[in-house]
Amino acid sequence: MRYRLASLIAVAALALSGCSGSSANNTWVFGSASDPTTLDAILMQDGESIRIGQQIYETLVKLAPGSASDLVPGLAKSWDASADGLTYTFHLQTGVKFTDGTDFNADAAVYNVNRWKNLPEALQGDDYYDITVFGGYGDNSLIKSVTKVDDSTFKMVLTTPKADFLTAMSLAAFSMQSPTALKAHNADKGSQDPSNDYWQKAPTGTGPFKFSEFVSGDHYTIVKNPDYWDKANAAKLDKIIFKPIADSAQRLTALKSGTVDTIDFVDANQLNDIKNDSTLQLVTRSPLDIGRLNINQSIKPFDDVNVRKAISYAIDRQAIVNTFFPNGAGQAADSDLLPSMPAYEKNATVSGFDLTKAKAALAASSCPAPCKIDFWYPDSVSRPYMLDPKGEFEAIRTMLEAAGFQITPQHKAWKGGYTTDEANGKYGLAFIGWIYDYADPADGPGIFYSTSTAKCGDVTPTKPHNCEAAEDNPAVAAAMAKAIAEPNATTRTQDWKDAMKLINADVADVPLVWAGSSLGMTKHIQGFVASPTQTEYYNTVYKN
């Protein structure tokens, strides 16, 4: 009996003391924040879907690894643009196959582009990038036509020039998918139709990895594509497993216990923890996010530019960064643009902290002190550009009150209507932010201050209107339209500088912080090239 008990204890101890964590050598276990929500490329819009899509699909043109603006060939080995910026001819790589064995050629490319242009109605509710870049469907799309020239060449004609068109084509949403797989798995029937099992069973691209398994809520697995066409850039890993761990503290615990090899979106207060752990390494992305206060000029007293100036002068951005973005998690922002963008100009806004000027501006406004305003912040959320919304709110509230404002705090859950109400222009002053997809003003201010006739909540505007900020200055709209259409890079940079001057003179918002994000990984993960856009290629990653 005694021996049996001793044996049992020995077995249990052996079992327990087995190294916890991933043991297979060439498999990378990645602690992600959630499951992907789709892998039908054109519908991908959340970071976790794009993270996986970036590995199994490829676009015609790509952002160079680590860059937010430099383009390199992808499935198109070269391209020509007409002088008027309307016609793009893509010369495709040859000998490329989708992972279902079918050919990638001009026919497949034309099929994909036509699908973007004529996105089935059942898919339109899930669409973001297609409508954002091309502006509409069918005849309303920026894509006028797409035609095959020969097996390895096709041509896209736009209705109007769009200077960031090629950069936008590097977005993972505009990846090439196998027409055969899309049709066989009813991808066009929409996400609410059970017969559409494309992305959960057979997402098919040409990338260095291919789909292997999806267990909802547990993991998503991709494996090396052994037939990848670009041998020089073939995947070094055999398998990547994405394990969803929603809570950032739990992700860190999983990393430290060896349950996963890598985690993303490390909290600012966890950075030193990782830096000080000899078994871990911290990989930091350059900033490409902007945390800002949106101001809606259609709500009083924010219609008065002096009130907006007073708010901007009253906020000490460096103090906010020092307190809420420690360890280099953020930088004080003085523009909606980032310093890495050519159109950025230092101190272009009313951004210097100056309490005297703030008080003077408020005194000169239609709402002298004590000026009562509602100030909104979101609950139950942490974003790279807004790590502690309530804490930041309290700090800024104190600053604004020192300048003569009387604040009524307002808050709502981020997913409980905050983003909807904010977008519909219901908040006068509110926290919000943006994660750039690529370093181009068209993907920031070009969206923040765009106008349309869409309803703002229940209100239908009588003319093109900006719901969120009510920035309806016709000069701003004209300057942005000119910049967005200008094909010459140098002229375009100047156009954006001009547009930003107008936007800044209006004090259309209050930029607060430029933020990046960080990953934590065990030291045996090598070859990871961080990108400011958060959309890295994992073919270069290996374990040593």
Partner 1 sequence: MLKFIVRRVILLVPILFGLSLLMVVFLHLLPGDPCGAILGEHSTPANLARCQHGLGLDKPLYEQYLNYMWGVFHGDFGVSAVDKVSVTTSFLTRFPATIELTVSAMLIAVGVGIPLGVAAAKRQYSLFDNFATVASLIGISIPIFFLGLLLQYVFGVWLHWLPTAGRYDLAAYSFEGAGTNFLLWESLVINHDPGEFLDVVRHLILPAVALGTIPLAVVARITRSAVLEVLSEDYVRTARAKGLTNKRIDDRHVLRNAMLPISTVIGLQTGLLLGGAVLTEEIFSWGGVGNWLFQAAVDKDFVVIQSGALILATIFVLVNLIVDVGYAYLNPRIRYS
Site for partner 1 in 101-130 (CB under 8 A): 122, 124-128
Which of residues 204 and 450 has its CB atom nearest to partner 1 in the complex? 450
Which of residues 145 and 452 has its CB atom nearest to partner 1 in the complex? 452
Q: Are 379 and 412 in contact (CB under 8 A)?
A: yes
Which of residues 109 and 439 has its CB atom nearest to partner 1 in the complex? 439
**Could you give the CA distance from residue 34 to residue 394 in angstroms, rounded to a whole number?**
30
Min dist CB 285 to partner 1, Å, is 17
Q: What mask of x and - would describe binding to partner 1 in positions 195 to 224, judged by CB under 8 A?
A: ----xx-----------xx-xxxxx-x---
- Tell me whether strands 143-150 and 87-92 are parallel, antiparallel or unpaired: unpaired
Of 64, 70, 88, nearest in space to 78 by CA:
88
325, 393, 434, 449: residue in contact with partner 1 (rule CB under 8 A):
434
Range 21-80, binding partner 1 (CB under 8 A): 21-24, 27, 29, 31, 34-35, 37-38, 45-46
260 binding partner 1? (CB under 8 A): yes
Which of residues 151 and 247 has its CB atom nearest to partner 1 in the complex? 247
Min dist CB 241 to partner 1, Å, is 4
Which of residues 66 and 416 has its CB atom nearest to partner 1 in the complex? 416
Q: What mask of x and - would describe binding to partner 1 in positions 356 to 385, judged by CB under 8 A?
A: ------------------------x--x--
**Size of the chain in residues:** 544
Which of residues 21 and 73 has its CB atom nearest to partner 1 in the complex? 21
Min dist CB 291 to partner 1, Å, is 11
- Tell me whether strands 280-284 and 330-332 are parallel, antiparallel or unpaired: unpaired
375, 414, 427, 431: residue in contact with partner 1 (rule CB under 8 A):
414
Amino acid at 20: S
**Could you give the CA distance from residue 190 to residue 199 in angstroms, rounded to a whole number?**
11
**DSSP codes joined into one string, 27-48:** EEEEEESS--S---GGG--SHH
Tell me how many residues contact partner 1 (CB under 8 A).
83
Which of residues 120 and 370 has its CB atom nearest to partner 1 in the complex? 120
Which of residues 46 and 103 has its CB atom nearest to partner 1 in the complex? 46
Edge-to-edge order in the sheet of strand 262-263: 209-215, 219-224, 239-244, 27-32, 262-263, 518-522, 280-284
Min dist CB 321 to partner 1, Å, is 20
**Could you give the CA distance from residue 209 to residue 118 in angstroms, rounded to a whole number?**
28
- Tell me whether strands 262-263 and 518-522 are parallel, antiparallel or unpaired: antiparallel
Q: Are 236 and 527 in contact (CB under 8 A)?
A: yes
Of 491, 424, 531, nearest in space to 540 by CA:
531
404 binding partner 1? (CB under 8 A): no
**Could you give the CA distance from residue 10 to residue 12 in angstroms, rounded to a whole number?**
5
Q: What mask of x and - would describe binding to partner 1 in positions 237 to 256, judged by CB under 8 A?
A: --x-x-xxxxx--x--xx-x
Q: In a 10 Å sphere around its CB, with 0-12 CB exposed, 13-18 middle and 19+ buried, how is residue 210 labelled?
A: buried
